[in-house]
Amino acid sequence: MLTKTIVVHLEHNELGRARVATAVEMAARHHAHLSGLFLSLEEFDGDLYGRARGRILEGARRDRLAEESAAARLHFEQACQDGGVNSFRFATEIGDDEKDLEVHARAADLLIVSDVQERNMEDRFVRGLPETLALSSGLPVLVLPQEFNGSFNPQNIMIAWKSSREAVRAVRDNLSLLRDAAHVTVLSVGTSEETGRLPADQVMNFLQRHGIKAELRKDYGDNQAGKVIMKTAEEINADAVIMGANGHPSWRNLILGNTTRYVLRHHRMPLILSH
């Protein structure tokens, strides 16, 4: 995949500014267009406060978000200019629906968001943006851990492989990234019956034909796949994990595979998810 259009989720906070820095560096390196979308996912029910009071509070909320959007735009556009990004665009959606970000990302190659792992009280009120976008956007989603700061140019990549359509999509989506890496590890997890539908050896041959030399590791034990993935990634000091996102979105709900859910809740390195 040639990365020529990137969309980054903007927020007016330190996490959002760190994410912009990563996106700007990546866009400049790839000579890509960068779109920044300020999106509020706050849930607000004015009826809880009464009709009159609810209208006042909703108006104050929208005024605050408009100010935050303006500040995020100023920072985003300045960062693009300072970082040498020649093509960029800002957009804002003041609402409460993550589908606004999904719509803006449909004509992109990559979507950049940060994880939400409920490490503080505010996180409990933010819905699962990475999960939702991974399952519904139709493009690779780069999920940065909250501690991440810097450029995303991984040289030690691990592929979490399972015989599934999602895993195949994840590999195909990231061939250029894998080709540029110094070291690639394919971790084949699951039961022998599952993996047998598309043996990992065939995936290794596929990668080799694309000029990608990889090391194969297998774990067909009874341990939870998500734990195996995280343990192995930390053991080999992987600076990125590529995997398929298993599950499917439904109306206002999300049905997520156990492995995907576990990895999203415990990763400490960037993830690239495809569905």
Q: Which residues pair with 274 in a beta bridge?
A: 244
Question: What integer pLDDT is reported at residue 52 of this predicted model?
Answer: 72
Question: What integer pLDDT is reported at residue 265 of this predicted model?
Answer: 86
Q: Where are the domains of the chain?
A: 5-144, 156-274
Q: Is 35 helix (H, G, I), strand (E, B) or coil?
A: strand
| 3-class SS shares of the chain: helix, strand, coil, % to 5 | 45, 25, 35
Question: What integer pLDDT is reported at residue 255 of this predicted model?
Answer: 46
Q: What is the phi-psi region of residue 223: left when phi exceeds 0, alpha when psi lies from -120 to 50, beta otherwise?
A: beta
Token pair for 182: 């110094």
Question: What integer pLDDT is reported at residue 251 of this predicted model?
Answer: 38
Fold of 5-144: Rossmann fold (3.40.50)
Question: What integer pLDDT is reported at residue 123 of this predicted model?
Answer: 46
* pLDDT < 50 stretches in the chain: 119-127, 193, 195-196, 251-255
Contact assessment for residue 54 and residue 47, using Cβ atoms and an 8 Å cutoff: yes
156-274 and 5-144 share a CATH fold: yes
Question: What integer pLDDT is reported at residue 116 of this predicted model?
Answer: 65
Question: What integer pLDDT is reported at residue 225 of this predicted model?
Answer: 87
Question: What integer pLDDT is reported at residue 43 of this predicted model?
Answer: 59
Question: What integer pLDDT is reported at residue 216 of this predicted model?
Answer: 94
Prediction pTM value: 0.85
Contact assessment for residue 265 and residue 229, using Cβ atoms and an 8 Å cutoff: no
Distance, CA of 164 to CA of 167 (rounded, Å): 5
Token pair for 120: 């503080």
Beta carbons within 10 angstroms of residue 261's beta carbon? 17
Question: What integer pLDDT is reported at residue 125 of this predicted model?
Answer: 39
Q: Which one of 3.40.50.620, 1.10.1200.10, 1.10.1060.10, 3.30.2130.10 gives the CATH number of domain 156-274? A: 3.40.50.620
